[in-house]
Amino acid sequence: MLIVSGILLVLFVLSSLLLIAVVLIQDEQGEGLGGLFGGGSSTPFGSRSGNVLTRLTSILGAIFILTAFGLAWVNRTPESGDVIGAARRQQGTQTSVEWWKTEPKEESIQSPPVEPKK
């Protein structure tokens, strides 16, 4: 599983870097949010003509999401269903120091001696 995790991690990093680069290279084809309401094309959801960069963005996005899910699945903890039981087992093996229940020393409670005025 270590090899699969390493391969997935390399694919994840490469796809994320390439996705960032491809998105930054793309030319803004619409008017942004203003193009949603003001039109700009004859179809209701914008033009469907995709060039190489938009297709590459879709492919890299799919690879990014699939590798993210793959990494999450490979690196999951095997006993994730029994969180309360794991906490109880861990609490039973640890010795806790209850520092808040210790009694303060008498010297720290007493106030300093008051000198008489002359």
Instruction: Give the tens place of pLDDT for each residue, 63-107.
Output: 999 999 999 999 887 765 677 777 788 777 665 556 666 665 655
CA 102 – CA 96 distance, rounded (Å) = 13
Choice among 13-22, 33-42, 83-92, 94-103 with the minimum mean pLDDT? 33-42
Residue (of 73, 74, 56, 63) closest to 12 by Cα position: 63
Predicted TM-score of the model (pTM): 0.54
